């Protein structure tokens, strides 16, 4: 059995950036990640220029919730690096897992 995790990220951009051009580059980088890892999929980028926000959404499948989240985090971080965004304060996997709801009700869909 596999687990699919969905991720939604919001980033506040610098005020001088062309957000739409930057978002296009980020989407290309996420699509590169999808080509490299079929467990990472359905990525999307949206932009709110008025509030200087870039949003990323994606899904990943793994043998466990921990693995699916690790795949999401690695692919998104790699895409950020590909477009020149550093992640020096990126939290470690165990730190992220401590704050994730794990006692969720779930059922298998047909």
Unique residue bearing structure tokens 């470690």: 92
Segment 48-99, tens digit of pLDDT: 989 999 999 999 999 998 999 999 999 999 999 999 988 888 888 888 887 7
Given a contact cutoff of 8 angstroms between Cβ atoms, the answer to whether 56 and 76 are in contact is: yes
19-53 per-residue burial string, b: 16 or more CB within 10 A, e: under 16:
beebbeebbebbeebbeeeebbbebebebeeeeee
Neighbouring-strand partners of residue 67: none
Segment 27-45, tens digit of pLDDT: 999 999 999 999 999 999 9
How confident is the model at residue 27, as a pLDDT? 98
Torsion of CA 93, 99, 100, 102, to 10 degrees: 110
Residue 46: is its pLDDT beyond 70?
yes
All domains in the chain, ordered by first residue = 3-98 (3.30.300.100)
């Amino acid at each position: 059995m596999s687990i699919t995790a969905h991720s939604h990220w919001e980033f506040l951009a610098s005020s001088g950036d062309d957000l739409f051009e930057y978002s296009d580059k980020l989407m290309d980088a996420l699509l590169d990640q999808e080509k490299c890892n079929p467990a990472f999929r359905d990525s999307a980028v949206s932009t709110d220029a008025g509030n200087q926000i870039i949003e990323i959404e994606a899904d990943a499948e793994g043998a466990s919730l921990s693995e699916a989240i690790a795949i999401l985090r690695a692919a998104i971080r790699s895409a950020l690096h590909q477009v020149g965004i550093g992640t020096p304060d990126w939290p470690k996997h165990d730190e992220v897992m401590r704050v994730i709801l794990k006692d969720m009700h779930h059922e298998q869909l047909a």
